[in-house]
Chains A and B, each alone.
Chain A
Amino acid sequence: MDVGARRDLLLVHRMTPLLEVQDLYVTYYSRTGAAIPALAGLSFDLRPGEILGVLGESGSGKSTLATALVRLPLANGKIEKGTVTFEGQNLLRATPRELERIRGGRIALIFQEPSLALHPTLPAGEQVSDVLAAHKSLSRKALRERTLQLFADLFPGVESRRIADSYPHQLSGGQRQRVLLAQAIACTPSLIVADEPTASLDPITQQEILSLFRTLRLQLNLSIILITHNPALLVGLAERVLVMYAGRVAEMGPTRDVLSSPRHPYTRALLRCLPSPFDGDLAGRKMKLPLIPGELRRSTQLTGGCEFEPRCTERMDVCTTRAPALVALSEAHNVSCFKYGG
Chain B
Amino acid sequence: MEPLLRVENLMKQYADNRPLGERREVTALAGVSLSIYAGKITALVGESGSGKSTLALCLACLERPSSGSIWFEGRDITALGEDEQRRVRPKLQLVFQDPAGSLNPRLTALEIVSEPLIIQKRFQTQERFERAWALLERVGIPGEKAGQRPDEFSGGQRQRLAIARALALEPKLLILDEALAALDCSVQAQIANLLLELQSSLGLTCLFITHDFAMAAHLADEIGVMDHGRIVELGAAEKILRAPENKATLSQLAATPRFRRIANPLAVL
Partner of A285, one of B212, B237, B251, B265: B237
Interface string of B244-269 (1 = CB under 8 A from A): 00000001110111111110010010
Judge whether B181 is part of the interface by a CB distance below 8 angstroms. yes
Q: How far is the CA of A340 from the CA of B23 in the complex (A)?
A: 67
Complex Cα spacing A24 to B106, Å? 37
Question: How far is the CB of B215 from the nearest CB of chain A, in Å?
Answer: 6
User: When A203-B211, A295-B154 are in contact, do A273 and B241 touch as well, CB less than 8 Å?
Assistant: no
Q: Is the CB of B241 within 8 A of A58?
A: no
Indicate whether A205 reaches chain B with its CB closer than 8 angstroms: yes
The reply to whether A202 and B211 contact each other, CB–CB distance below 8 Å, is yes
Q: Beyond A203-B213, A203-B252, A275-B192, is A57–B186 a contact (Cβ under 8 Å)? A: yes
- Could you say which of A115-123, A224-232, A316-324 contacts chain B? A224-232
Total count of chain A residues near the partner, CB < 8 A: 48
- Judge if B196 is at the interface, Cβ distance under 8 Å: yes
Give the distance in Å from the alpha carbon of A148 to the alpha carbon of B48 in the complex: 27
In the assembled complex, the CB of B50 is this many whole angstroms from the nearest CB of chain A, namely: 8
* B234 at interface, CB cutoff 8 A: no
Contact A58 B213 (CB under 8 A): no
- What is the CA–CA distance of A262 and B47 in the complex, to the nearest angstrom? 32
Which chain A residues in 243-288 approach chain B with CB under 8 Å?
259-263, 268-279, 282, 284-286, 288
**A172 to B258 Cα, complex, angstroms:** 25
**A282 and B238: CB pair below 8 A?**
yes
Contact of B261 (CB < 8 Å), options: A200, A204, A233, A272: A272
Query: Are A275 and B211 neighbours in the complex by a CB distance under 8 Å?
Result: no
Q: Smallest CB–CB gap between B87 and chain A, Å?
A: 34
Q: Quick one: given A58-B154, A278-B218, A282-B242, are A204 and B184 in contact (CB under 8 Å)?
A: no
Q: Does B125 contact A (CB under 8 A)?
A: no
Residues of B within 8 A of A270 (CB): 185-186
B3: chain A residues within 8 A (beta carbon): none
Q: Is the CB of A273 within 8 A of B185?
A: yes
Closest chain A residue, CB of each to CB of B210: A202
- Contacts A57-B186, A288-B196; is A207 near B255 (CB within 8 Å)? yes
Q: Give the residue name and chain of the B residue nearest to A210 (CB).
A: B257
Whether the Cβ atoms of A275 and B214 lie closer than 8 Å is: yes
Whether A35 sits at the interface, judged by CB under 8 Å, is no
Docked complex: A280-335 residues within 8 A CB-CB of B: 282, 284-286, 288-292, 295
Task: Given A204-B252, A272-B265, decide whether A235 and B257 contact each other with a Cβ distance below 8 A.
Answer: yes
Contact of A152 with B by CB under 8 A: no
A290 to B197, CA, bound (A): 14
Answer whether A289 and B192 are a contact pair too, CB < 8 Å, given A201-B48, A275-B214: yes
Using Cβ atoms and an 8 Å threshold, which residues of chain A touch B238?
282, 285
A232-B196 contact in complex given A57-B184, A273-B186, A275-B214, C-beta closer than 8 Å: no
CB < 8 Å neighbour of B47 from A58, A205, A232, A260: A205
* B189 interface residue (CB < 8 Å to A): yes
Closest Cβ–Cβ distance, residue A266 to chain B (whole Å)? 10
Confirm or deny: B203 has a beta carbon within 8 angstroms of a beta carbon on chain A.
Answer: no
Residues 10-51 of A at the B interface (beta carbon under 8 Å): none
The residue in chain A whose Cβ has the minimal distance to the Cβ of B238 is A282
Shortest beta-carbon contacts, A-B, top 4: A232-B257, A275-B218, A278-B217, A273-B189
- Could you list some 24 contacts between A and B, CB below 8 A? A58-B184, A58-B187, A172-B48, A203-B213, A204-B255, A207-B257, A230-B185, A259-B259, A260-B260, A260-B262, A261-B262, A272-B261, A274-B189, A274-B214, A274-B259, A275-B215, A275-B218, A276-B218, A277-B214, A278-B213, A278-B217, A288-B193, A288-B196, A289-B193
Mark A residues whose CB is within 8 Å of B.
Answer: 57-59, 172-174, 199-207, 229-233, 235, 259-263, 268-279, 282, 284-286, 288-292, 295
8 new A-B contacts at CB < 8 Å, known A275-B217, A282-B242, A289-B189: A59-B154, A202-B47, A272-B262, A274-B185, A279-B241, A285-B237, A286-B196, A291-B186
